[in-house]
Structure formats: C-alpha cells, structure tokens
Structure 1
Amino acid sequence: SSRGPDRDSSAEEADEPDSDDSSEMDEGECERRRNECLDNLANLERQFTVLREQLYNERVKHVEYQLAEVRGGRSQEYLGPLRSLQENMRIRIEVAGVLKQMRIENIKHKYEAEEQAAHQHFKSEKWLTYESMREEFLEKIRKLEEERQTVDLWSTGAEWGKRRRKRQVTVTPPYVVYMLPDADIMEDWRLVRKLLEKSD
C-alpha cells in the first residue's frame, strides 16, 4: 500500500512529455494543412483562369460562327426575322399597288368629268354665240326690210304724184348710213352659218 502513491506520481510524470509532443504535432499538422489548403486554392485559381479563358474563346468562336451564318444567309436567328420583314414588305407593296390603282381610277374619273364639263361648256357657249349672231343678223335683215319698204313707199308716192300732174316736189328719201352693203351682210350671214355647221 505504501507503493501506491509513488506509482501515481511516476505515472503523472510519464504523461507530461506525451502532452508536449501532442501539441507540437498539432502545430505541424495545422501548418501542413494550411499549406495544403493554400496549394489547393492556388490550383483552383489556375484552373478557374484556364476555364475562363476557354469559355471566352468558345464564346468568341460561337459569335464568329453565328456571324458567318448570318452573312451566308443560313442562320435561323437571322432567317426568321428576315422572312417576317419580307412578308411585311410584300403586304406593303400590295397595299401600295391597290392605293395606286384607286388613285389612278379617281384621277381618270376626274379627268372624264372635266372633259365632259368642257364639252358641255363649249356646246353651250357655241349655241349662245350662234343665237347672239343670229339675232344680230336677223335684226339687221329686219331693219333692211323696213328701209326697203320705206323706199318702196316713197317711190310709189312719187309715181302717183306724177300721174296727177302736180307740181313736182323734191322729196329727199331717208338718209341712212350703212356700215356694209346688203349683199355683204347676207354673205357674212351665210359664212357664219357654214362655220357653225362645220363646228357641229
């Protein structure tokens, strides 16, 4: 029983060097693990840089391929909108053609209406001119007839006075100034009628 405490103290002394070794091993393990982690991190960064460069190159190649497809007229992303644009252009051209035809028809109808109005105006003015000149010439003819009758009455009165053997009295017939002789007026009237008949 006297040896029991001695044994316990010796056991505690034996345990002390083991704890010191354990702490030293823990520090070494931590340092090793830290270095290992740093190496892994550096490796990951290198891999990320490589992958990022590869991704960039692949994207550039893809864009260049798409551009080549568009230039060659083979890209579906390009052909879809292109077909839509072509359809819109076709519809707009068709609508423009319909509007053009309608406007041409409208202009044609306006022209025909203006032409008809011009013909009607010409006929109306021609008829008014004809009637005006006809009335003017008829009035001249009427005046000539009246003057001729006046001259005939004067001649008849003079003959009757001679038969009664009266003293001859000088009677001055009416003095009329004519712009044109009767024959010229009648000739003008015939020419006007011929011209009006030709214009019909």
Structure 2
Amino acid sequence: MSSMENENNGENDEIVDSDKEDSNDDSNSNSSSSDEFESSDLECVDKDKEYNNILVDVEKQFYLIRLLYKNEKNFEIDTKIQQICEGIAPEYIQPFEELIAQNRIRLEIAELIRNYRLNNLKQFYDAEKLAAEQNYMNEKELLKDSIRKDVEEKIQKLNEERYKADSEFFSVSVNYMKKSRKYSYNDDYNGGHHEKRRKAVPISGPYIIHRLKEDEIKEDVNFIKCCLRSQKNNYSMHHHNNNNNHQYSHHF
C-alpha cells in the first residue's frame, strides 16, 4: 500500500511538472508538443500495468488473510468445543454452576413439598382410622344393646311362661286335691253316719287335730315339697339368669 501511495505521489508530481513544462513550452513548435503527448501515453500504459499488478497482489494478500482468519476461527471454535466437552470453558462453567444451584433449590423445594404432602396424608389417614374405630365401637355398642334386649326379652318371656305354667299346675293340683278330699270326706261321712258316735277322749299337749287319712297327709306333704322345690328351682334359675346377663353384658 505504501508503494502505491509513493507511486501516486510521484505520478502527481510528474503531472504537475508536466503541466508546468507545458505552460512554459506553449511557445514551442507543434512538433515538440506531439512528442511529449506520445511519451505521456506510454507512461500511462506503464502505470496501468503497474497498478494492475499491485491490485492482483492485494487480492492475493486479501485471499490469504481471509483464509488465515477462517482457519483461526475454526481452530478457536474447535478449542471452545473441546473445553466445553471437558467442562473447563469459562463460558460454560458459570452457567453450569448456576444451573446446578437452581437444580439444588428445586430439589429442596420438591423435598419440602413431599414432606408436607406425606404429613397431610398421614393426618388424613389417622383421622379416617379414628373415625372408623369410633364408628365400629358405636356400632358394636348398638349391636350389644340390641342383642342384650332381645335376650332379656326372651328370658323374661320364658320366666313368665314358666311362672304361668307353675301357677296353672299349682291351681290344678289344688283343685284336684280339694275335689279328692271332698269326695273322700263325703264317703266317710255317709259311710259312718249310721255308726255309733264314739265318746270323746280328752287330749293334752300341743297336738293338731285333723280328720285326714295318713295317705292324704303324705300326699299333701309331697305336694308341698314339690311346690317348694319348684319355687326353689325357679328362684335359682332366675338368679342364674341374672348372673348370666351380668356376665354377658360385662363380656361385651
């Protein structure tokens, strides 16, 4: 580039000098002016050739510089790619560290959310379990009360039927005894009415005077024992049922 500038400067100087010479030689003849024009044309042709050669050299240098720049950029890009793959590139380290920090924060937040949700689920499970247990206990108590009432009603009905049967049996037995005694007394009275009445014999001491026969007395004694035994059995059965009811309720 400096050579081109020097050449341009020289050319300008020559043109100026030629102008001066032309101005000074205006008074010369036409033959001398024609020679000078021919020499200036030759010089212009030479200058064009020189400038063309300089332009070709400049283009070659520009191509070489562009190729060198391209190679340098490719080498720089390959170096950056290798550094990024190895994890040592400055442009890669800082964003990667920021990404790691963001990932750590997100993991901590996810862990907290997980713990909160697990705690919520545990509380919900405990509440459902407690409600189910309370419902089970309430249903159990209601079922026990229902079964207890049914059993007590059945026991009461059985006792009432037993008492009714015993009372009916007792009344039937008493009526039967009264009728049998009445018939036996009438037979004795009618049979011994015409007999001669015996003379009354004085009796001293705490004796019971009756007009029953020995068989009738034994029958009455057996009947009384049977009634007492039945009442005793009923009492023991009723007491046993009460104990069973108490144990049954205690068991539930």
Q: TM-score range by the shorter chain?
A: 0.7 to 0.9
Residue among 43, 46, 56 paired with 2:60: 46
Q: Paired residue for 2:71, among 57, 63, 72?
A: 57
Is 1:159–2:180 an aligned residue pair?
A: no
**What are the ranges of 5 or more consecutive residues in structure 2 without an aligned counterpart?**
1-24, 184-236
What SS does structure 2 have at the residue aligned with 1:164? helix
**1:145 maps onto 2:159 in alignment:** yes
State the 1:20 CA deviation. 1.1
User: C-alpha displacement at 1:53, in angstroms?
Assistant: 0.6
Which residue number in structure 1 is paired with residue 29 of structure 2?
15
Structure 1 runs (4+) greater than 4 angstroms displaced: 11-14, 186-195
Corresponding position of 2:39: 25
Out of 123, 135, 138, the position equivalent to 1:109 is: 123
Q: Highest CA radius of gyration, 1 or 2?
A: 2
AA matched with 2:84:
V
Moved more, 158-167 or 123-132: 158-167
Deviations along 1:148-175, whole A, 9 cap, x unmatched? 121122122123213422699xxxxxxx
Structure 2 CA distance for aligned equivalents of residues 14 and 153 of structure 1: 186
Distance 2:105 2:143 in 1: 56
Pair 1:69-2:83 in alignment? yes
Aligned mates of 1:38, 1:66 — CA distance in 2: 42
Cα RMSD of the aligned pairs, angstroms, is 2.8
Aligned residues: 171
TM norm structure 2 = 0.61
Instruction: Go from structure 1 to structure 2 and tell me whether the alpha carbon gap of 1:28 and 1:41 turns closer, same or farther (over 3 Å shift).
Output: same
Question: How far apart are 1:122 and its partner, in Å?
Answer: 1.2
Deviates more, 1:16-25 or 1:159-168: 159-168
* Secondary structure of the corresponding residue to residue 74 of structure 1: coil
Equivalent residue for 2:105, pick from 71, 81, 91: 91
| Structure 1: unaligned runs, 5 residues or longer | 1-10, 169-181
TM-score by length of 1: 0.76
C-alpha distance in structure 2 between counterparts of 1:105 and 1:85, whole Å: 30
Deviation, structure 1 residue 137: 0.4
Deviations 1:130-154 (A, max 9, x none): 0011001000011011101211221
CA distance 1:13–1:118, shift in 2 (3 Å)? closer
Report the identity percentage: 27
Aligned-residue offset at 1:99:
0.8
Q: CA deviation at 1:14?
A: 5.6
**Judging changes above 3 Å, is the alpha-carbon distance between structure 1 residues 12 and 163 closer, same or farther for their aligned structure 2 residues?**
closer
Deviation at 1:13? 9.7
**Matched position secondary structure for 2:88:** coil
